[in-house]
Chain A
């Protein structure tokens, strides 16, 4: 397979003619090594942007932009992916955490019963149930435990879901455990959470860590 190393830097600088651009795009569809090279070169090109002399955008630009994206909409479901040909950068399987439909209370009750049977929770008094869009629900218990119930696709290879608690009034997320997802997720957070706290689920690379790096999959306030 002929690699496109030399062309990749030209591509990142937007200096290639149409034929060479196509060569690069077609090649990286199937070549991991060159995809990595392209990512690195695009990062270097983006770094060059910072060498430009400082200039401040007109304040109106911000307003114009926010108006142009349309009126405020409270999303209850994620927007449809736009119908379009396969996106340019589609070589990595797209992560989309589509849950089973939001669980009815009966199903949650059953899950809670199962949890208490397993002895995962100390005080089975359910304090609240809050929906997490795309994930399911978070059930909080009298003892301060919180359990996420629902369905997430299993995290792709090399990734894990991680839960976080942002205590009420604070901003720094506290790591609350990792889990692999899959249907019938029922994961009890390793950190207590109660009314006013926010639960966030992210998709982390590797085995997760002490601070979130990956995209947010779902979030709910108890």
Chain B
């Protein structure tokens, strides 16, 4: 996604994401647009990977950001980064969409590439492709059963009970395997110098 931000107010440049969100809570459209410019691309890519329909994905992203706009004043900085909030909202709405529309789930991480018409890729912000490489390489280091449960839960949107059925495992095993997988992933990300609790476009530099 090119860095196009017409009318950007230079005095917001120094602000952290928390600062931008605080301004958003005061009705500052520039600050809000800035948050979209930074994270809208990642949100859309996530939605598209899960939902595999361009229109529905655009709706998911719009809903997520509208929620940010409306609820920015109730966001508590202690709950984490604004980017985590944005992507959590996106993920939740994407998963709800795929379940509601009863869409076939794309199970392999890259399966979406074949089934969705590829538009010409505009040059992405560098920090995003660095982040993608780092997260993918951390995932590759997970034991297969752990990576599988994360991919199916996160990208295919399977609930834990659906996973239990799909993998023919007791639900208790699904819960503990999910816990182990997320804990291991957090550790692997930390080892590669990524702290997901820091701002993304600085934490990957």
Binding site for B on A (CB under 8 A): 5-10, 12-17, 20, 35, 39-58, 61-62, 64-66, 68-69, 72-73, 75, 78-79, 81-82, 84, 87, 89-92, 94-95, 166, 171-173, 198, 202, 211-217, 219
Contacts and interface: CB of A to CB of B under 8 A. Distances in A.
List the 4 shortest-distance A-B pairs measured between CB atoms, nearest first: A215-B22, A43-B196, A57-B44, A9-B182
Size class of the contact patch on chain B:
35 or more
B16 A7 contact: no
A215 B196 contact: no
B38 interface: no
Given A6-B176, A14-B92, A79-B27, A47 B194 contact: yes
B109 A51 contact: yes
Interface of B: 1, 10-11, 13-16, 18-19, 21-23, 25-29, 32-33, 36-37, 40-46, 48-49, 54, 58, 61-62, 65-66, 69-71, 73-81, 83-84, 87-88, 90-92, 95, 109-110, 112-113, 116, 119, 121-122, 124, 128-129, 131-132, 134-136, 139, 150, 153-155, 157-161, 163, 175-176, 178-179, 181-183, 185-186, 189, 194, 196-197, 200
B71 A53 contact: no
Given A54-B132, A79-B27, A171 B43 contact: no
Given A43-B84, A216-B22, A52 B49 contact: yes
A52 B48 CA distance: 9
A49 B197 contact: no
B interface: dominant SS? helix
Contact of B15 (A44, A66, A68, A212): A212
16 contacts: A6-B175, A6-B179, A7-B175, A40-B186, A41-B182, A43-B197, A49-B91, A50-B131, A52-B132, A56-B119, A56-B124, A57-B43, A57-B61, A166-B11, A171-B10, A219-B11
Contacts of A56: 1, 41, 44, 119, 121-122, 124
Contacts of A173: 14
Contacts of B113: 53
A42 B80 contact: yes
Given A43-B80, A48-B139, A52-B132, 6 more contacts: A51-B135, A51-B139, A54-B45, A68-B66, A212-B15, A214-B19
Given A42-B88, A173-B14, A214-B77, A47 B135 contact: yes
Given A65-B62, A216-B19, A16 B159 contact: yes
